[in-house]
Amino acid sequence: MRHLRWIVALGLALGLAAAQVPLSIATGGTGGVYYPVGGGYAQIIDQFIPGYTASVEATNASVDNVAFISRGDADIALALADTVLAAYEGTGRFGPEGNLPRLPNLRAITVAYSNAVHIITIEGSGIESLADLRGKRVSVGAPGSGTEVSAQTILNAVGITYDDFQVERLSANETADALRDGSIDAGFWSGGVPTGAVLSLAETRQIALVPVSDEEFAAISAASPTLIRYTFAEGAYRGIAQTASVGTPNLLIVSSDMDEELAYEFTKNLFEHIRIVRAIHPSANETEPEAALASPLPLHLGSIRALEELGLTVPDRLKVD
């Protein structure tokens, strides 16, 4: 009888395992912040949402991620707010004059945290302002990344185009390596602070961050209201001074087709167990329920239900059918 009970229990366990629904979380490169933060989300799903298991996918980040969500190749993703809003509204690269389709089925779970736009160079490079990028070798981010969307918006707003410098398209790790060996002069990276690849670079070379002036930021903000002011604290990376730059909120997004109960459970458990993500990266200290109300993208119905249960009033602009 004991053996029979063991066999039944094993059969039930195997049956439960077989019933697990896999979810894919699209993040970014392994040297950035999306990837480890996405791992924290996966832990929450695995531990607290019965019937589901999650895996983390390394991607080229925001532009790819919105497409993955829209066509069902990923279930949950992180993406920069300016990229997500352009995709949702059909503007910029997602508009009539771009090469990408509009993606109206994107929905937000919350605002996860804000990225800082790092414009990184090596001390002594002679690059002390955005204007100094002209004639240099500059990485604008990996192909399909929100970093490039932000970089292009920033540069165009201050009158700099890709014709003004030698363009490279590198990930965070590749940018750090290229700066380390001198094959580029500067590189853009949009990520949480600190970003591992930049930390590593700062340990071996004396980096500098290119500042964005108030006049330049006014032009940038006018070009894209989703871009916000961000100031790096002194010592955020080894040896850097306090530096004024640009920030972009990161949205945690899903498709409008996601089951409402799943979106509700994910949102509810995300806020209840956010300590898991905070133990992985300090950017998750910004992941608070109130942050969801600052989303430029409509929220998923399941997320709205979870937020209202927490006592928040979700504005009508974030509610769509």
Question: Does residue 7 surpass a pLDDT of 50?
Answer: no
**DSSP-assigned letter for residue 233:** P
Residue 13 has pLDDT above 80, yes or no: no
Residue 2, pLDDT above cutoff 50: no
Same CATH topology for 2-113+250-318 and 116-248: the answer is yes
pLDDT class for 3, splitting at 50, 70, 90?
A: very low
pLDDT band at residue 254 under the 50/70/90 scheme: very high
pLDDT digits (tens, 9 = 90+) for 83-115: 999 999 999 889 898 889 999 999 999 999 998
Task: Tell me: pLDDT of 16 over 90.
Answer: no
- Computed over every residue of the chain, the mean pLDDT equals 93
Which one-letter DSSP state was computed for residue 52?
E
pLDDT category, 35, cuts 50, 70, 90? very high
Q: pLDDT category, 8, cuts 50, 70, 90? A: very low
305 within 8 A of 264, measured Cβ to Cβ: yes
pLDDT digits (tens, 9 = 90+) for 127-139: 999 999 999 999 9
**Which tens digit of pLDDT belongs to each residue from 262-271?**
999 999 999 9
DSSP assignment letter at 232: E
Tokens read off for 221 = 């903000």
Domain 116-248, architecture per CATH: 3-Layer(aba) Sandwich (3.40)
User: What stretches of the chain show up as alpha helix (H) in DSSP?
Assistant: 2-18, 34-48, 62-71, 81-89, 146-157, 172-181, 196-204, 214-223, 260-272, 275-278, 301-309
According to CATH, the superfamily of the domain at 2-113+250-318 is Periplasmic binding protein-like II (3.40.190.10)
- With 90 as the cut, is the pLDDT of residue 78 above it? yes
User: Can you give the pTM of this predicted structure?
Assistant: 0.81
DSSP secondary-structure letter at 298?
P
How sure is the predictor about 180, in pLDDT bands with cuts at 50, 70 and 90? very high
- Residue 17: per-residue pLDDT: 52
- Among 125, 271, 275, CA closest to 186: 125
Answer yes or no: is pLDDT of 225 > 70: yes
Strands 166-168 and 137-139: parallel
Q: Give every CB contact of residue 72 below 8 A, 6+ residues apart in sequence.
A: 255, 257
In the chain, domain spans: 2-113+250-318, 116-248
CB count in 10 Å sphere of residue 317: 11
